[in-house]
Chains A and B, each alone.
Chain A
Amino acid sequence: MKLCQMSPTDFRRQLAGQGVWLRTGPFSLRVQSRLPRVAEGLAELYGQFEVRNPRLTFADFHIEVNPPGVLRRWFRPQVNFSFDGELPFKPLPLDQAYPMLEWGLNWCVSMHAHQYLIIHAAVVEKNGLAAILPAPPGSGKSTLTAGLVLSGWRLLSDELTLIDRKTGWIQPLPRPVSLKNESIPLIRAFSPQAFINRESHDTAKGTVAHMRPPKESVRRQHEPARPGWVIFPKWEAAAATTLTPRSKAQTFMFLAQNAFNYSHLGADGFRVGTTLIEQTECYDFHYSRLDQAIAAFDRLAATMKPSAIT
């Protein structure tokens, strides 16, 4: 059953009670929260994801997003993220409850899922090939990702690129796309079909909101993709759209440094990383206009077919 098929009352009651079992990509969650804004966020953004009876099954991550105690209910109310009873983060203001759930989920995956090499990068797919977009914050990675997945590219992940250590292919984790500050109105204007949830203000990253993942990306969330490109996007005011090849060795070093668990995997991390680099084309990408950037990505996808790669 999909979450959107549950009655809103049942969903809220279950979320506040024993918790809701939810599958995203390869992971299952049991989420419990008494907060209406968390229920609202999940209902709006995770409608296409599978839910099950939480009593009878196994969940990878047991998480709760709840206020810390009664005392703070009236005075600057706060929210805690709990991973099976542990609190990995300090409480945040209540207004950030929904983004805290998303950040907490990223933490759960990146701290535990060592069956993957986990790179801090967005990843999208077209014609069977995945483009990995690693980039420091502020490079416009999320904006570009949102634009691409609203233009026919498949969302694999906006934050965590999961490289299956056995196959070298990318495992999708198409959760909501995190948008910050100016990208929120920009994406709203770019596509009226985009659904973006309520904004949380004054977070560590400024104003944050999440965009619902495309239905098709969620439907195909168990279909891995072969890595095709590693592209470092950089948004610059008035820059022309340019795609420049970059050194594979440097790209490898950057990916290793920006992987969450490269050092945990030992020699296998090196093997997985170098195999990835060998089979991908690596580029620097500068852009200022989102429509031109997407056109450039479409041209790239049209020139390289998976069959052309050996």
Chain B
Amino acid sequence: MAAPKNLVSHALCNPDALHRYSLSDWDLLVRQARRAGLLARLRHVLEQHKRLGVIPAEARWHFDAAATLGAKQQIAVRWEVGKIAEALAGLAIPLVVLKGGAYVMAGLPAASGRLFNDIDILVPRDQLGPVEAALMLAGWHPSGLSDYDQRYYRRWMHEIPPLQHVKRATVIDVHHAILPDTARYHPDSAKLRSRAIPVAGMKNVLVLAPEDMVLHSATHLFHDGELPHGLRDLTDLDLLLRHFAFDPGFWNRLATRADELELSRPLFYALRYVRHFLATPIPQDFDGAMEHASPGAVPLAMMDALFTRALAPDHASCEDAFTPFARKAAFIRAHWLRMPPHLLFPHLFHKAFARHHENGQEPKPA
């Protein structure tokens, strides 16, 4: 077998093969895993396989330092969710925590070794105004976005502009749906909320039901234009699926729910690529159940060409000549699904030519 380019996938799938890695393999693995945001998760997987000892001494601190950061973030996420719940307590609305935050709150394996950029929450659309006001009172303010982006979020998106806490700098994404109004599919967020599950020990804090959690993760992955954490999101899905599959009824419920929410297509892709990158065990008969969601052979071949590249770690060593095009195409495809053409083309035009003039917030050298 030729040496794999994507060492992160290879290592996650074959923790028992790592003793064969040379020091230069480890060098590349650490770099790819750092870029993919998966150092801490890889360490967690190795620990579970009792294989931490295979990490060479030189490379070990990179994994440990990432795990330190991950552990601190888990505590911080719990604490922040508590603060958000406190801020929204007066509104008496259900607060649904999404994605990484939900994995932490529900104590799922998908939380382990995960690093966070923000906390995503879902609230009823008619409560957006009061929710934003309550969060602002508690110290979260919109920040760092151009006027164009602010307008874009409020007019077209399924979330309001990210809110950042003035003191702690934590960021919340407040969603009222899991896809924009302008998207091709319209999963009913009331349906999602109706089956949400309360978090033990917290008042009014919920997470999505297992099938909905998987469907949201899949939908997010295949409708989000930028895929810097594509592989990390796939590993989330992989861990969710492996965990929920302990319940024998899970796969049937997943297929039914996907149809009900009109999300079979993103689920089809998600399963295809978790299997490709992470060898996730998916029952054979489930492929039959998903067949109706497959696009034709030609579009599928195109999707494979795009996503097997765009979901790999965003590191030069994982790229071939086609990768830059694949990333751009995945970006355009996601927007194509999110907005009709009369909105999409002006938006992409603006992003292509205006983005470099607006934000100048890179850090200065120390």
Q: Hey, which bits of chain A sit against chain B, CB under 8 A?
A: 28, 55-60, 62, 81, 84-86, 88-90, 92, 100, 103-104, 106-107, 110, 112-115, 204, 263-266, 268
B66 CB, nearest partner CB in chain A, Å: 8
- Interface SS majority for chain B: helix
Determine the distance from Cα of A58 to Cα of B60 in the docked complex, in whole angstroms. 11
* Residue in B closest to A204 when the chains form the complex, CB atoms: B364
Query: Closest 3 A-B residue pairs measured CB to CB?
Result: A114-B65, A103-B365, A58-B58
Nearest A residue to B27, CB-CB? A58
Binds A, one of B68-76, B181-189, B339-347: B68-76
- Whether A89 contacts B363 by the Cβ 8 Å rule is yes
- Could you tell me the distance in whole angstroms from the C-beta of A293 to the nearest C-beta in chain B? 26
| Chain A residues with CB under 8 A of B366 | 103, 106-107, 110
Judged by a CB distance under 8 angstroms, whether B59 is at the interface is yes
A85–B56 CB distance below 8 A: no
Q: Residues of A contacting B194 with CB < 8 Å?
A: none
Question: How far apart are the CA atoms of A90 and B364 in the complex, in Å?
Answer: 7
Is the pair B68, A114 in contact by a Cβ cutoff of 8 Å? yes
Interface of A is mostly: mixed
Point out residues on B near A: beta carbons under 8 Å: 23-24, 26-27, 30-31, 34-35, 56, 58-59, 61-62, 64-65, 68-69, 71-72, 75, 315-316, 362-366
Known A-B contacts A28-B58, A62-B31; the reply to A89 vs B365 at CB < 8 A is: yes
Q: Flag if A58 contacts B315 (CB, 8 Å).
A: no
**B26 partner, pick from A58, A86, A92, A114, beta carbons under 8 A:** A58
Q: What's the Cα separation between A263 and B73 when bound, in Å?
A: 10
A114, B363: Cβ atoms closer than 8 Å: no
Q: Are A57 and B27 interface neighbours, CB within 8 A?
A: yes
- CB-defined A-B contacts under 8 Å, sample of 18: A57-B23, A57-B58, A58-B30, A59-B27, A60-B62, A62-B31, A84-B34, A84-B315, A89-B362, A89-B365, A103-B366, A107-B366, A110-B366, A112-B65, A115-B64, A264-B72, A265-B72, A266-B72
Q: How far is the CA of A90 from the CA of B356 in the complex (A)?
A: 12
Interface centre among B59, B316, B363, B366 (most CB of A within 10 A): B366
Complex alpha-carbon distance, A89 and B64, angstroms: 26
The CA of A112 and the CA of B63, in the complex, are separated in Å by 10
How long is the Cα–Cα vector from A62 to B31 in the complex, in angstroms?
A: 9
Q: How far is the CA of A62 from the CA of B317 in the complex (A)?
A: 13
Residues of A within 8 A of B68 (CB): 114-115, 264-265, 268
Tell me whether B23 and A113 are in contact (CB under 8 A): no
A56 contacts B24, C-beta separation under 8 Å: yes
Known: A59-B27, A85-B316. A264 touches B61 (CB 8 A): no
- What's the Cα separation between A215 and B27 when bound, in Å? 29
**Bound CA span A162–B316, Å:** 31
Q: What's the least CB distance linking A98 to chain B, in Å?
A: 12
**A90-B362, A104-B365 are known contacts. Are A84 and B31 too (CB-CB below 8 A)?**
yes
The chain A residue with its CB closest to the CB of B314 is A85
Task: Pick the contact of A100: B24, B26, B365 (CB < 8 A).
Answer: B365
Q: How far is the CB of A27 from chain B (nearest CB, A)?
A: 9
Contact partner, B71, options A81, A110, A113, A266, Cβ 8 Å? A266
